[in-house]
Structure 1
Amino acid sequence: MLDPSTTRGRRAAEVQTGAASGGQRKFLPEVQGLRAVAVLMVVAYHIWFGRISGGVDIFLLISAFLLTGQFTRKLEAGRALELPKYWAHLFKRLLPLITVTLLATLAATYLFLPSLAWKGIFDQTWASMLYYQNWFLAAESVDYYASDHSMASPLQHFWSLSIQGQIFILWPLIFAAAALVARRGRLKIRPLLIYLFGAVFTVSFIFSVVTTRTNQSFAYFDTRTRLWEFALGSLLALILPALKFTRTTRIVLGWLGVVAMLSCGLILQVGQQFPGYVALWPTLATACITVAGFTDSRIGADRFLSWKPLVKLGDSSYALYLFHWPALVIFLVVTGRDHAGPKAGLAIVVVSIMAAILATKWIDAPLRRNKWIEQKRRRAVTAMAICIALVAGPLVGWQAHVKAETAAAGRQVPTDNPGALTLLPGYVDRISSGAVVLPALDNIIKDFPTFAGSCEGESRPAAEALAKNCTQDGVLDGTQTQTVVVVGNSHADHLSGAVRSMAVANNWKVVKILGLGCVFGADASGQEERCKTFNQEATDYILATKPQRIFTIASRTTESTPGEALVPGFDKTVKQFTDAGIGVVGVRDNPRFKINMPWCVNNNGADAAECEFTVGQVMPAVSPLKGFAEGNPKFFPVDMTDMLCPRGVCKAVIGNVHVYIDKNHISQTYWNTMAAEFAKRLSSQKGWAVS
């Protein structure tokens, strides 16, 4: 990626290394070569191995190492930090290549990506340009539906740049505060900085280890869990001049660091284990290489890292990091592949490197070295504003156009999108010519029920985790004739919209308690610990509150196979509740597919054969609910398969409505069109009215 302390071309600030033979070097070719190796690791692991390399962690440490050296020398020399000037220069340098990347990605999005991906790209473009992409992705990582996207974002890699951008603002403020404390307390600045960054390292490292263990997907993008990596780089810069090792030791340290660095992504599951204590592997490897420094030995690692082609590529490492990921993602989308392969991958690497070298030479270097811009801070700020405007202008216009189209689609009359009603006897087609399919693709992933509010009063679960995922709707003024509970996973969540319709029609209160990704049943073996906890807490809650009925998903289908079985322990679940006088509605699961159904429609058309599957391909001919608990008067099975797969064919679009929002979740819009038939099938069952 980038060298944050670079102010004059490739020249790094003067660094006193324990490796140097008593002198100071103004340019550290081994560090520049290290950056090149790190970015090549990132690129190669992304393109050929589909893994994360740990190369980003190397960049984080190097960034802090160089920044700390620059600011420490200023303070020790008694020079002003000039933070506004530093920030103006830095972001003036960073934004032009970001602008090029974002504009190229937006163009490729328009040309090649389905419109259902557009909204996500819009949001991530803003997040990338304004340096909060890591927090955006952290929020997405805990969004169950967002995690079901069938395509990686071409801007996903901006998370690390966002963290760096935040550190480039925070770290100078720490130096400014340290300078103030040192001046007033008459303290030496270097020891004070060691104490400060040591404290940051300790607190962040502990927080990172704990958070990675409890919520790794969020922790991966959390700035707070990464602060220790920057602090380690700062500590290394502060203590390095005092480190004295023999040349033999430094040669060993250098190669030990190189081997550890290159092997990290192969040995560790970086994407599932970072950034906790395991991230010490690449960061300490980088520290070893840095401590080894310049050995002046023909067998030293620095000789390899100082190889001129590597050093030259290090100049373009920032641009290469920016360009390679969008190129890979767009290629995979256009070709329909899930990986690049050897030849195509090599082509992507070569094209990305060439583009990075050209962009660095003709865009980055001229702007970075432009003396006229550097003379006055406002000129640098103006350059930054122009970069932002170049992206914001077309982005705002495009968003407005999409929003207008969505609003127009939303004004269609109900007869334009009848959905499942087209399958009922007596249906008369009144779909207008030109009526668009709903829900609109730009926000289809969010087409699921949203209840009125969180559970309050007697409806609020005692278990805090359960209470956070408990919402209620229907009749909430205390006049309800019954209280019913929807419980289970995301498929139960989508079912809840139809239950809410029944609640409004019958004067019920409906409570929804969800464990997304958790199958609700008496036997939770094989599920995550959180699912076991959810099942037990949900069961205790239902038995304690004694609603008249519960609604849940009774079976589980298998992606693109006819495999389907009752939820493990479902018989025990039903007996437990019906023995307590609680009616149980068990709904058969819907089909699951390997392809994103709306995406298929977007690419091939609503009636394309690629978007249709026979029932036998995705579900067994006989429902596992058939004959289940027949003698239990308080159990009510419901099978809506014929409304999802009319005449034995499972479709992506029925009645001008998208049936699915992704690979396996039924859209709320389509569930709304099935709600009346769902209620009819329940009310026709013996014992329903008096349950």
Structure 2
Amino acid sequence: MPTLSAPVSGPPARAPRHRSARPGRGADRYSGFRPEVQGLRALAVLLVVAYHVFLGRVSGGVDIFLLISAFFLTLSFARKLEAGRPLALGRYWLHVFKRLLPLAALTVLATLVLVALLFPPEQVEQLRTEAWASLLYAENWALAAAAVDYYAADHSTASPFQHFWSLSVQGQVFLLWPLVFGLAALLSRRGRWRPVPVLAVAFGVIFAASLAYSVHVTATDQAFAYFDTRARLWEFALGSLLALAVPYLRPPRWARVLLGWLGLAGMLTVGLVVDVQGAFPGWIALWPLLSAAAIIVAGQSGSPAGVDRLLSSRPLVRLGDASYALYLVHWPLLITYLVLRDRPMAGPRSGAAIILLSLVLAVLATRYVENPLKRWAWPERGRRTLAVSIAVSLGLVALPLGSWHVLDERRDARIAAAQHVNNPGAAVLLPGFRFQGDPAAPTLPLPEDLPAGASPVGEPCPEDVALGDAYREFCHETVAQADPAKTVLVTGNSHMQHWLPALKPLAEANGWRLVVYLMPGCLYTTAEEQPASETCRRWFEGTDDVLESVDPDLMFVQGTFTNPSGEFWKPGLEERVRELDARGVQVVGVRDVPRFGTEPGECAIEHGADAPECVYTHPMLGTPDPQAPLAQELERFSAVDMTDLVCPEEQCRPVVGNVYVYFDDDHLSRVYSATLAPMFAQRVGEALASDGVEAPALP
């Protein structure tokens, strides 16, 4: 009997038929084909696809996939252990990825073609990174690190590789689980124990520990928990425990009929009856998993009224064979359609068409790609040929993906070389400027780089900045100096961060040490004016500590605060500035920039930089700087207003000097901020000089 690799893809090699008779001994009890489980797999993938396309909710179908894959995997190794056969872990790992990778690689490659042809340019770089993560079975960790919201209502913003998270988790378990079996084999030999009880204890411990962790992390950080392999191990462990127990479970026929239909009802209704938003993969995932377990325990009931008659039907079993391919292809098709049509969800007709097309492609991929490769004898000759087949699958994606990246790097290098001439940015606003660059040069940042427009903050603060562990994550050293002429502290939120490319050259030219203490979304005002956020509360608590530790000669703060409807002067900021003035700290308040409800850069990409609908306005334009009265009153507070260089002539254009001004709807792009450096330095110097402070040297 062939070794079972137990991928999500169908068809299973061999699995035990549930018998009403007394179970056999040894390996025989874990043998036999179970068509109803293959039908269960088909039903699970249909739930996943339907919920993705029509409802945008979690169905529990993926969780059932994970359970079934562990179920088959455990049966395979239990047969070996019971029969006393070698586990051959190296060959197993090569064999399973030889089965999984070709179709996955083909899907990644086809999706990259869609990305190159149809997706917005600003998404390309991130999606290429996710293609690598998907190919290497690490997509779940990439999504977790990016804090992706799996439940986002607008699927058009999702990645076409996002569904690879579950395949990545599964691939990681296919590496881990054989080690558990190997350890169980070792313990069984040394202790002269039967392997099945040893495995039951091992998977019982994994189940309990992972479920406890899953419940905890789901309650505290659900977005991360959803993709966390550790929070999913209990689902695999439950499938393994089920595989070990099924041969010993012999319910009567009427109980099997009842179990089967109750299980089917449970798995079909969980996503409809319970709003699982934010609850998976915690304890609520027991609902679909126990429902599937009931169907597996029911097995072949032998009754015409049993649910196994439905699940063992030829159409469902055949669909189970193509379930892996169907799972792979449906999500890229759905996301591509939503991106093209700019819709958050598919409608009834378009959704039905997507499902039909997915079914057709899945059947074709299974018949003409997956099955022929499974039957291909050459890779099975030995480990070396298996390794070669895996390398070929990886290379089919890695070669074009790597080449694409290299070509873009070369293009970026050519652009950077000509940037000062072709992309002068704010310099075009200076009197007497004459553009002498290439009028056809691309606008910077490139569209694909716009989403990653946040300015770098530098390295974490060194140990000489004495801060508690709760606050250190907010502290960075943007410019380090061994013997600084001055120490400068920048504090506030992301609206101070986007000035760093303009401030950094000034610091470097004058030998200043530049330390930043920033947290997006928080306010350098008072505790009462902070957003209702635990992170902002903790960040604000550290503002006095960082001030004491850094002991700055000069501070930069956000002077005003804007939203799309206006500009505001917060009393809490004035309170802080007066405290700093009393301490003898010179403070520069930088006036905020206009904020908009939509992104000027995206408008320019879609309609053109000169399109009238892409020229924005804001109530703050043409009004006096609200900081001015306090700056006139206090000796150590200076105000800097750059609004006329962000929105010249009181018009906020998306592109100035062939540079995108904003990278989103309210933050300056790092490229444009850098082009503002000479003007920013000049205005800072003028503001300080007006308060009797020696003006710094210009960069």
TM above 0.5, one fold? yes
- Residue of 613, 616, 619 corresponding to 1:613: 616
Please give the secondary structure, in 1, of the residue aligned with 2:676.
Answer: helix
> Displacement of 1:192 after TM fit?
0.4
Which residue of 2 is the match for residue 553 of structure 1? 558
- Residue of 228, 242, 247 corresponding to 2:248: 242
> Displacement of 1:130 after TM fit?
1.8
Which residue of 2 is the match for residue 512 of structure 1? 516
Which residue of 1 is the match for residue 525 of structure 2? 521
Task: Say whether the 8 Å CA contact 1:10–1:315 is kept in structure 2.
Answer: yes
Please give the secondary structure, in 2, of the residue aligned with 1:606.
Answer: coil
User: Structure 1: how far apart are the matches of 2:646 and 2:654?
Assistant: 9
Q: Percentage identity across aligned positions?
A: 44
Question: Structure 1's 454 and 515: CA in aligned 2 closer, same or farther, altered over 3 A?
Answer: same
Question: Structure 1's 7 and 650: CA in aligned 2 closer, same or farther, altered over 3 A?
Answer: closer
Q: Structure 2 regions of 5+ residues with no counterpart?
A: none
> Displacement of 1:330 after TM fit?
1.4
> 1:131-168 CA deviation, whole Å, 9 max, x = no partner?
2222222332399xxxx998322112112111111111
Task: Say whether the 8 Å CA contact 1:423–1:643 is kept in structure 2.
Answer: yes
Which residue of 2 is the match for residue 541 of structure 1? 546
Which residue of 1 is the match for residue 174 of structure 2? 168
User: Structure 2: how far apart are the matches of 1:124 and 1:97?
Assistant: 17
Q: More deviation in 93-102 or 237-246?
A: 237-246
User: Structure 2: how far apart are the matches of 1:554 and 1:230?
Assistant: 54
Which residue of 1 is the match for residue 6 of structure 2? 5
Task: Say whether the 8 Å CA contact 1:142–1:217 is kept in structure 2.
Answer: yes
> 1:640-663 CA deviation, whole Å, 9 max, x = no partner?
333222233322221011223334
> Displacement of 1:384 after TM fit?
2.3
What amino acid is aligned across from residue 535 of structure 1 in structure 2?
A: F
User: Structure 1: how far apart are the matches of 2:312 and 2:501?
Assistant: 63
Task: Say whether the 8 Å CA contact 1:556–1:589 is kept in structure 2.
Answer: yes
Question: Structure 1's 232 and 639: CA in aligned 2 closer, same or farther, altered over 3 A?
Answer: farther
Question: Structure 1's 669 and 192: CA in aligned 2 closer, same or farther, altered over 3 A?
Answer: same
**2:358 is equivalent to residue 352 of structure 1:** yes
For 1:434-583, list aligned pairs within 5 A.
434-461=440-467, 463-474=468-479, 476-481=481-486, 483-522=487-526, 523=528, 526-543=531-548, 545-558=550-563, 561-562=564-565, 565-566=568-569, 569-583=572-586
> Displacement of 1:349 after TM fit?
1.2
Task: Say whether the 8 Å CA contact 1:6–1:12 is kept in structure 2.
Answer: no
For 1:176-575, list aligned pairs within 5 A.
176-266=182-272, 270=276, 272-461=278-467, 463-474=468-479, 476-481=481-486, 483-522=487-526, 523=528, 526-543=531-548, 545-558=550-563, 561-562=564-565, 565-566=568-569, 569-575=572-578
What amino acid is aligned across from residue 615 of structure 2 in structure 1?
A: E
> Displacement of 1:672 after TM fit?
1.2
> Displacement of 1:406 after TM fit?
0.7
> Displacement of 1:39 after TM fit?
1.6
> 1:157-185 CA deviation, whole Å, 9 max, x = no partner?
11211111111121112112211221122
Task: Say whether the 8 Å CA contact 1:466–1:513 is kept in structure 2.
Answer: no
**2:94 is equivalent to residue 78 of structure 1:** no
Question: Structure 1's 643 and 308: CA in aligned 2 closer, same or farther, altered over 3 A?
Answer: farther
Question: Structure 1's 361 and 160: CA in aligned 2 closer, same or farther, altered over 3 A?
Answer: same
Please give the secondary structure, in 2, of the residue aligned with 1:141.
Answer: coil
User: Structure 2: how far apart are the matches of 1:119 and 1:626?
Assistant: 40
What amino acid is aligned across from residue 116 of structure 2 in structure 1?
A: Y
Task: Say whether the 8 Å CA contact 1:65–1:233 is kept in structure 2.
Answer: yes
User: Structure 2: how far apart are the matches of 1:19 and 1:657?
Assistant: 74
User: Structure 2: how far apart are the matches of 1:594 and 1:219?
Assistant: 31
What amino acid is aligned across from residue 518 of structure 1 in structure 2?
A: C
User: Structure 1: how far apart are the matches of 2:134 and 2:453?
Assistant: 26
User: Structure 2: how far apart are the matches of 1:47 and 1:191?
Assistant: 43
What amino acid is aligned across from residue 676 of structure 2 in structure 1?
A: M
- Residue of 675, 691, 694 corresponding to 1:673: 675
What amino acid is aligned across from residue 453 of structure 1 in structure 2?
A: E
What amino acid is aligned across from residue 220 of structure 1 in structure 2?
A: Y
Question: Structure 1's 111 and 454: CA in aligned 2 closer, same or farther, altered over 3 A?
Answer: same
Q: More deviation in 320-329 or 577-586?
A: 577-586
**2:95 is equivalent to residue 89 of structure 1:** yes
What amino acid is aligned across from residue 175 of structure 1 in structure 2?
A: F
> Displacement of 1:291 after TM fit?
2.8
**2:62 is equivalent to residue 56 of structure 1:** yes
Task: Say whether the 8 Å CA contact 2:523–2:530 is kept in structure 1.
Answer: no
> Displacement of 1:442 after TM fit?
4.2
What amino acid is aligned across from residue 88 of structure 2 in structure 1?
A: E
Please give the secondary structure, in 1, of the residue aligned with 2:470.
Answer: helix
Which residue of 2 is the match for residue 643 of structure 1? 645
Question: Structure 1's 622 and 243: CA in aligned 2 closer, same or farther, altered over 3 A?
Answer: farther
User: Structure 1: how far apart are the matches of 2:567 and 2:273?
Assistant: 36
Task: Say whether the 8 Å CA contact 2:492–2:522 is kept in structure 1.
Answer: yes
User: Structure 2: how far apart are the matches of 1:623 and 1:294?
Assistant: 80
What amino acid is aligned across from residue 590 of structure 1 in structure 2?
A: V
Please give the secondary structure, in 1, of the residue aligned with 2:216.
Answer: helix
User: Structure 2: how far apart are the matches of 1:306 and 1:115?
Assistant: 46
> Displacement of 1:244 after TM fit?
4.3
> Displacement of 1:218 after TM fit?
2.9
RMSD, aligned α-carbons: 3.3
> Displacement of 1:64 after TM fit?
0.8
Please give the secondary structure, in 1, of the residue aligned with 2:477.
Answer: strand
Give the number of aligned pairs: 679
Task: Say whether the 8 Å CA contact 1:524–1:531 is kept in structure 2.
Answer: no
User: Structure 2: how far apart are the matches of 1:387 and 1:653?
Assistant: 43
> Displacement of 1:376 after TM fit?
4.3
Task: Say whether the 8 Å CA contact 2:23–2:247 is kept in structure 1.
Answer: no
> Displacement of 1:318 after TM fit?
0.7
Task: Say whether the 8 Å CA contact 1:596–1:662 is kept in structure 2.
Answer: yes
> 1:104-154 CA deviation, whole Å, 9 max, x = no partner?
1121122112332222222222221122222222332399xxxx9983221
> 1:269-319 CA deviation, whole Å, 9 max, x = no partner?
656333333433333333333333333445544444344433322211111
> Displacement of 1:671 after TM fit?
0.6
What amino acid is aligned across from residue 582 of structure 1 in structure 2?
A: V
Please give the secondary structure, in 2, of the residue aligned with 1:487.
Answer: strand
Question: Structure 1's 586 and 626: CA in aligned 2 closer, same or farther, altered over 3 A?
Answer: closer
Q: Structure 1 regions of 5+ residues with no counterpart?
A: none
Question: Structure 1's 380 and 335: CA in aligned 2 closer, same or farther, altered over 3 A?
Answer: same
> Displacement of 1:360 after TM fit?
0.8
What amino acid is aligned across from residue 332 of structure 1 in structure 2?
A: L
What amino acid is aligned across from residue 659 of structure 2 in structure 1?
A: V
What amino acid is aligned across from residue 471 of structure 1 in structure 2?
A: H
Task: Say whether the 8 Å CA contact 1:18–1:240 is kept in structure 2.
Answer: no
Which residue of 2 is the match for residue 587 of structure 1? 590
Question: Structure 1's 7 and 153: CA in aligned 2 closer, same or farther, altered over 3 A?
Answer: closer
Task: Say whether the 8 Å CA contact 2:470–2:538 is kept in structure 1.
Answer: no
Q: More deviation in 648-657 or 291-300?
A: 291-300
> Displacement of 1:579 after TM fit?
4.1
> Displacement of 1:249 after TM fit?
4.5
Please give the secondary structure, in 1, of the residue aligned with 2:471.
Answer: helix
User: Structure 2: how far apart are the matches of 1:510 and 1:6?
Assistant: 53
Task: Say whether the 8 Å CA contact 2:598–2:665 is kept in structure 1.
Answer: yes
What amino acid is aligned across from residue 119 of structure 2 in structure 1?
A: L
Please give the secondary structure, in 2, of the residue aligned with 1:613.
Answer: coil
Which residue of 2 is the match for residue 661 of structure 1? 663
